[in-house]
Structure 1
């Protein structure tokens, strides 16, 4: 059986509807997964008209009704978006709709009705205006799934990066880091890669300070206090882990293939190297949920929404990774 993957539409004022319509027209991607959309049917029809897609919409009541016909887009309709919603503009209504789409997807995933969720981009400000005060998708998914802690992993063709902290200011992030959190992050990343078929992942852990603190010359001993205990604990478990290593050379080494995974300590430390490699093939994976979740590694792109110029290749890559990580996909392999 192919894995069943739900695509959530994201913020309806952004490019989410367009990239979904374009991706659903790709016959090769539909060979590797059974896909359906959770979103507003009328908004998706507007996107079909904008991109001049030959596909038609088939309304379904749930995953059991997915037809898998390549000339249709099966949609579990959540009518949350007015017909006159402007493209490319901040909207509380669109923010609330994005939440409703995710909420339904998590409900289905927790019930075992689907194998993975692949999310379209949302706008954090619109989400907050819509009454949902989450920093982003990662935290919202964890809360809805009842999971206390998850990790964000970004992947690119030559690099995987998992984050100890994400949506925090730099000072707050450093305060949050400790040995236990570092250890849990290393372990979550290792377990995911083992599940994905890498029997003994090579993991490198980034330092906080320049030159990994240079023996205490830089910083206030954060490497020894906050990172080394977590690394030592993971090593005692038998994991192949090095660190803390200077971040400037570490990411270079990861890019040339020395490591299967880099553990970054804070948001920009991990995001910048991956995004320098290119947004087109970047994928966001939430690690630690009881189901698979992937996402494009770009935002709502309000400046080009509704204009039929957005590239849907990042969504195709996110779907591929969701299929590769899903239980049914791994069983088939």
Structure 2
């Protein structure tokens, strides 16, 4: 397994190093990133630990308190903590691209990504809304979807990082059917034999029979019907203000949400520590914590690696074919 370091100016390197030190029994993984950045993060937490620079996964030796870092970039000096910079954006991007190439080549089994910063990417001349779009491009333009999961609910998004105006335009019939299919296959990968897929409406009260919009009637409902013809246990569109509660109570196994905040607010409201982001539709496993770079606490030594550890656990189970 490979863990990317995330933005060097955020909490990514710290939570990666902290996870490494907190899980001595689980060490057969490497970090893809910058050796200088990871050395600083690691030795700040444990001065007796050290970084081993490697250029291929085959070079990794799994010694006690020795973190294998596959070099994807080399900073001349450490970037300022908690600050957006072009150098940090490019270094974070290089780690993701390098790890993706390794996964496509089959030299690693999956990727767990620490948080990156979208403005830092832009400062570095990289116009990507986030990890998901980078991974989709590197994987050859695959149709992908974001699944957010915790112990209570699982959510798959029809649209991801775009304005609400653009999300309404992008949530067309092909996007609906793709998200429903990925929700079905993703839930099956998590060990649910016949997933019950609930599809949320776009408008208040799922359109109220056309009074508040007709996307449910003309787009979402037909997509649900198409999925059912394909043998998927899909239902909806359901009102967005109640469907997540019903999923939490056990009526549904996964909810397809129409846009970013509709799906992520219910998941994150229940806490970040046990949440995980899974990219569906890639030819390899990819998970990540469901929080950001946390520039406000970067470098203070108080970042919690729990969500990264949950993402690591999900990645292991997905690659091993075990239920989550």
Structure 1 length as normaliser, TM-score?
0.93
Deviates more, 1:142-151 or 1:117-126: 142-151
1:42 positional shift: 1.1
1:108 to 1:84, Cα distance in 2 relative to 1, 3 A: closer
Check whether the contact 1:179–1:228 (CA below 8 A) recurs between aligned residues: no
Equivalences for residues 1-333 of structure 1 within 5 A: 5-27=1-23, 30=26, 34-52=28-46, 54-219=48-213, 221-326=214-319, 329-330=320-321
RMSD in angstroms over aligned alpha carbons? 1.7
1:217 positional shift: 1.4
1:331 positional shift: 7.5
1:84 to 1:69, Cα distance in 2 relative to 1, 3 A: closer
1:77 positional shift: 1.8
The Cα offsets for residues 91-135 of structure 1, whole Å up to 9 and x where unpaired, read as 110000011111100110110111111001000000011111011
Task: Count residues with an aligned counterpart.
Answer: 324
1:29 positional shift: 6.3
Q: Which runs of no fewer than 5 residues in structure 2 stay unpaired?
A: none
The separation in 1 between residues aligned to 2:289 and 2:47, in whole angstroms, is 21
1:63 positional shift: 1.3
| Structure ranking higher on relative contact order (CA contacts 8 Å, 6+ apart) | 1
**What stretches of structure 1 move > 4 A for 4+ residues in a row?**
none
The separation in 2 between residues aligned to 1:53 and 1:255, in whole angstroms, is 44
1:53 positional shift: 5.6
Check whether the contact 1:30–1:70 (CA below 8 A) recurs between aligned residues: no
Check whether the contact 1:179–1:227 (CA below 8 A) recurs between aligned residues: yes
Check whether the contact 2:156–2:257 (CA below 8 A) recurs between aligned residues: yes
Q: Which runs of no fewer than 5 residues in structure 1 stay unpaired?
A: none
The separation in 1 between residues aligned to 2:157 and 2:109, in whole angstroms, is 24
1:55 positional shift: 2.8
